[in-house]
Amino acid sequence: MPSNPTPRGEEVLINASPTKEFFIHMLTRDIPLTRAILDLVDNSVDGARRLRLAGNYDGLWVRIEMSAEQFRIVDNCGGIPVDIAKDYAFRFGRPKEAKGTPGSMGQFGVGMKRTFFRLGRHFVVRSTTTNSRFTVDVDVDEWLADTDSRENWHFKFKELEVGLRVKEGDTGTVIEVDRLLANVKDTFALENFKGRLAEELSYAHALTLNSKLAITLNVLQIRHNPQQLLVSKHLKPAFLGKSFSSQVLVGHRGPPVRVKLYAGVAERSLHDGGWYIFCNGRLILRADQTATTVWGERHQMRAYHPDFAFFRGYAYFESDDGGLLPWTTTKTGVDADSPIYKAVQREMIEMTKPVLTFLGNLAKERAADGKQHPLEEAISTAHPMQVQAVTRPSLFTAPLPAPVPTGPRMQRIQYDKPAAEVEKAKQLLNVRSFTAVGERTFDYFMKYEGEEKE
């Protein structure tokens, strides 16, 4: 029997909207807990930027408190304006018309909400600006259960006041999440998790900490190591600053992308050697030693090697439109397909080459154990300098290796003998060093045993 045809002109819709449960699962499944918390700190830093455009955050702070029962983050960084909270801050994704903070770390419109769902089943946001105050209080289970209302994806203000006059020092945001998920409770109870989070805060916000924003984790102050390179009379890092037009990069007008690149040497560390990449002040790639930056045959470069443990490279990408920068949504890596990254990567490779040549020569100098050590001396006499203090374009500068000695090819000889006998040999030979003992005894042997006998 034939089926009834759809009446002409009648619209037939197929429901393709996502369920809330599926959306939350996909939103939170791939982000580590530490990274989710860092997203909330990013929002506080953006608030500090709105307050202090010059970049000095002295007197501003972010305080993180965590236990098995609750997560809490409080700042005095200006608060969230009501219009941003109403139209953008709580939306899932950033609409095109959203006006972000120039140079903002928050770009994708998912960080804050993702963190709430990653942590627990109830959250409260209280925020105060110089002219407004609001509270948002969400029971996640109730929100998930609301499937009937047309506006069931929305949140509501529990409290809202506008037209206020508040001192700047009394502004800020308080975020509390409780009814924590079971795996979050267990993780928060681990001391090594707190240590790992403190370390990631130190790395990710090193530039912000350097600008005197105070960050604490359960009352403990987060410290940081500034980005430094060794400088001496004969050893200087490379620096290149460039600006890229958004018209050229993505085909439409917009703010430029500014890039600063530094390459040189620092204190030897196999773990810390490599390239560091920042986007709008946020570290997204630390000590990279892979083809993601410059290493390996793909780039016609050597793979990272212990000889290169002195190497440090720093790339700083800045733009008022963070969407032009080469970071991933979780800020844990580089978007290698980004047009700006592809353009800058070529510069990074060329800046790395002379530094690796120097370090290769340094390894040979050490192995040869010659009388002259100009490369070793260049490093030992250098002092650390913050990379931001280097402001003029420059090429990497380092001394040349010592000239290869003329004469026959030399070979080093090493052997062990009882210390008392070696000391006696020093006295008999009337010399002061063990090297001289070896040389004299070898000469003696060759004179009486090595020459041809009649």
Calculate ∠ Cα 273-279-281, nearest 5°.
85
User: For residue 177, what pLDDT is reported?
Assistant: 96
Q: Candidates 1.10.286.10, 3.40.50.2300, 1.10.10.10, 3.30.565.10; correct CATH number of 20-221?
A: 3.30.565.10
Instruction: pLDDT band for 2, please (50, 70, 90 cuts).
Output: low
Name the residue with higher pLDDT: 155 or 240. Answer: 240
Least trusted range by pLDDT, from 111-125, 239-253, 420-434 = 239-253
Q: Could you report the per-residue pLDDT of 294-324, keeping only the tens digit for each?
A: 999 999 999 999 999 999 999 999 998 888 8
What is the mean predicted confidence (pLDDT) over 12-37?
76
Q: What are the distances in angstroms from CA 70 to CA 12, 73, 175, 265, 339?
A: 47, 10, 10, 44, 42
Q: Which among 11-15, 331-335, 341-345 has the top mean pLDDT?
A: 341-345
- Cα separation, 267 vs 273, in Å, equals 9
252-302: pLDDT as tens digits: 778 899 999 999 999 999 999 999 999 999 999 999 999 999 999 999 999
Domain residue extents for the chain: 20-221, 228-389, 419-447
Evaluate whether 20-221 and 228-389 have a shared fold.
no
Tokens at 170, concatenated: 């009394």
The mean-pLDDT minimum among 85-94, 126-135, 159-168, 337-346 falls in: 85-94
Burial 55-86 (b: 16+ CB within 10 A, else e): eebeebbbbbebeeebbebbbbbbbbbbebbe
Least confident residue range of 175-189, 240-254, 400-414? 400-414
* pTM, full prediction: 0.81
CB atoms under 10 Å from CB of 144, counted, come to: 16
Sequence-ordered strand ranges (E) for 154-219: 157-162, 172-180, 214-217
CA distance 87 to 89: 7
- Mean model confidence pLDDT for the chain: 87
Instruction: Decide: 136 and 125 in contact? Cβ < 8 Å.
Output: yes
Q: Which CATH class is domain 228-389?
A: alpha beta
Look at 370 and 268; give whichever has higher pLDDT.
268
User: Which pLDDT tens digit goes with each residue over 383-410?
Assistant: 999 999 999 999 999 998 877 666 677 7
Structure tokens at 256: 């430029």
Give phi and psi for 63, each to the nearest 5: -120, 120
